[in-house]
Amino acid sequence: MTTSLNRRFLLAQRPVGPATRDTFSYEEKPLGEPGPGQILVENHYLSLDPAMRGWMNEGKSYIAPVGLGEVMRALGVGKVLASQHPDYAVGDFVNGALGVQDYFLGEPKGFYKVDPLRAPLPLYLSALGMTGMTAYFALLDVGAPKAGETVVISGAAGAVGSVAGQIARIKGCRVVGIAGGAEKCRFLTEELGFDAAIDYKQGDLAAALKRECPKGIDVYFDNVGGDILDAVLTRLNFKARVVICGAISQYNNEESVKGPANYLALLVNRARMEGFVVMDHAAHFADAAREMGGWLADGRLKSKEHIVEGLEHFPETLNKLFTGENFGKLILKVR
């Protein structure tokens, strides 16, 4: 049993615009012991996700908001130090909602075990974790791409987008990524095998989409929303599928969310737009992880992680997602 203090970030106020250091309060608390049904976990890596910004807001969503004064929710992987739960033993590694803190103490609701001998721990937060599951199910179940179709992905150099694009390539599609900056675009075409990449920061996205998608767009995997969604809608094909995976351009908005002005493209093309939440597919994660593991092993799928060390850097590190400073799956290394 450890005698360490537990450093933790609590949600102190609901932010308007981007979260700042003042959004959180920081405290150090002595560790307790697990009660019946509980486990104590030392957190190793925490997943930083755009969704965390949404969890800070009040109101109805697909999951309850983090309460004021509660530890900020975060998924992570860590090692069981003590257990009073029949399914978990000391030394097991687990994946679950560990929170932005050094140690998790509580009931392991929704937790599952991971094997650090089969894959490095950060991979269980990227391609083999929620990120990979999101890319897999949002693309294959909602986007349903067929070989030869054109798939466009926004946020393409990010955690979800980069995996989704590679899966679309595996399925034989023409894949066009939209990302910010020349370095990210080069990474998509030269390292991940995307057919083309568009730097949306260079302007005239409509012309670039016309150039790179000469046969129109059959599947649009949207991670960003806003103006990029609007531009893509104008190039949709008959019976196209638009996957609403996320809308990061809107999460820090101080005004209301900007909806798509060009939505009548759905009517004209008998196309559809469908929202996606990864947890709906939890029953099939193990099968997907097995298939993704095979692709990682045979080199058809590459996973890029961006690891920042130090729990104390949590607030600034989270914001890298919104400035585009992250390059790959953003992970906070706790120990």
Ligand X SMILES: NC(=O)c1ccc[n+]([C@@H]2O[C@H](COP(=O)([O-])OP(=O)(O)OC[C@H]3O[C@@H](n4cnc5c(N)ncnc54)[C@H](OP(=O)(O)O)[C@@H]3O)[C@@H](O)[C@H]2O)c1
Q: In the complex, which residues of this chain contact ligand X (CB under 6 A)? A: 49-51, 131, 134, 155, 157-161, 179-181, 184, 223-224, 245-249, 276-278, 321-322, 324, 326, 330
Compare residues 107 and 141 and give the one whose CB is closer to ligand X: 141
Compare residues 106 and 246 and give the one whose CB is closer to ligand X: 246
Q: How far is the CB of 321 from ligand X (least distance, A)?
A: 4
Residue 175: both structure tokens together:
């894949």
CA dist 14 and 227 (Å) reads 26
CA dist 196 and 312 (Å) reads 38
Q: How far is the CB of 249 from ligand X (least distance, A)?
A: 3
Q: How far is the CB of 240 from ligand X (least distance, A)?
A: 19
Q: Are 78 and 333 in contact (CB under 8 A)?
A: no
Alpha helices for 125-199 (secondary structure H): 130-137, 159-170, 182-186
Compare residues 134 and 150 and give the one whose CB is closer to ligand X: 134
Compare residues 40 and 178 and give the one whose CB is closer to ligand X: 178
Q: How far is the CB of 252 from ligand X (least distance, A)?
A: 8
Residues 273-309 as b/e (b if ≥16 CB within 10 A, e otherwise) read beebebeebeeebeebbeebbebbeeeebbbbbbebe
CA dist 257 and 272 (Å) reads 20
Q: How far is the CB of 168 from ligand X (least distance, A)?
A: 15
Residue 252: both structure tokens together:
């820090």
Q: Which is nearest to 221 in space by CA: 127, 145, 282, 302? A: 145
Q: CB-based contacts of 326: which residues, under 8 Å, 6+ apart? A: 48, 158, 159, 306, 320
Q: Are 119 and 293 in contact (CB under 8 A)?
A: yes
Compare residues 215 and 284 and give the one whose CB is closer to ligand X: 284
Q: How far is the CB of 22 from ligand X (least distance, A)?
A: 21
- Measured in whole angstroms, the distance separating CA 73 from the mean position of its chain's CA atoms is 14
Compare residues 122 and 158 and give the one whose CB is closer to ligand X: 158
Compare residues 51 and 114 and give the one whose CB is closer to ligand X: 51
Q: How many residues does the chain have?
A: 335
Q: How far is the CB of 184 from ligand X (least distance, A)?
A: 5
Q: CB-based contacts of 194: which residues, under 8 Å, 6+ apart? A: 156, 165, 169, 175, 176, 177, 188
Compare residues 88 and 137 and give the one whose CB is closer to ligand X: 137
Q: How far is the CB of 279 from ligand X (least distance, A)?
A: 7
